[in-house]
Amino acid sequence: MRQTSPVATLLAVAALPLALTACSAPAPKAAAAAPASASAAAAAPSDPNKGLLTGKQLKAALAPASFFATGFTADPADARDTGTTYRLPATADVPRPDCAKLGGTSWTDITGISSVSFAQDAYVNKNSSEEFAQEIDVYRDTTATTVLDALGQISKACPSYSDEPTHSTVTVTEKPLTGIGDGAWAITETSPAWQGGTTLVAARVGTSVVTVLVSSSSDKGLAGATKLTNQLVGALKGKA
């Protein structure tokens, strides 16, 4: 998620992937005040974050502990959000994604576009090292669409990368998903050195982008990631 999780290392070791003046004509004071007030309001700068969900609101939209199967517990190190304030958005020039970031950091960071608010946490099964990581990012205007489109191109720029802990090559594949939010992609990582695989599902809901990362020892994580994504999309509908 937003920074490298301790679980990412654990997964690799366990062989798992882990925002005028009034009229000049004489007039009663009350009549002159109205246009002056309207002009002042028109001149005031608009709030670019108006209507956007805060980190506190996004945190409430994350799936609760009861959503996850027995054996999964919250990882306090991965829980963070932007609270009731907003960050200044930033766009970096990223001519080519840093494929190494697919090994554990926030995948939305690969796009070079930062959100104005976010919330995230993760749940880990300490016995199997499996992980469910969930994050919601909010962007101004139509930037969420740009971010999702960029995520939909990751496998073209990064068809594979080297996994240092297992000294293996990780293959990255991608496909669009239908019926989830306002568009969605599933990005899957597999390696001969891993048992199972890791899948990230990214979906847009209005100005929000949901990213769910699931590593599984029994499959590639797509089923679990899709289920959790649908949970978050449902919680955001009509709000984002």
Per-residue pLDDT 10s for the chain (240 aa) are 444 333 333 333 333 444 333 333 444 344 444 444 444 445 557 999 999 999 999 999 999 999 999 999 999 999 999 999 999 998 877 667 788 888 876 788 888 899 999 999 999 999 998 999 999 999 999 999 999 999 999 999 999 999 988 999 999 999 999 999 999 999 999 999 999 999 999 999 999 999 999 999 999 999 999 999 999 999 999 998
CB 1 within 8 A of CB 200: no
Could you give the C-alpha distances from 89 to 8, 49, 115, 116, 138, in angstroms and in order?
27, 10, 6, 5, 10
- Calpha distance 175→139 (Å, rounded): 23
Could you give the C-alpha distances from 61 to 58, 66, 210, in angstroms and in order?
5, 13, 11
The amino acid occupying position 25 is A
- Calpha distance 7→230 (Å, rounded): 24
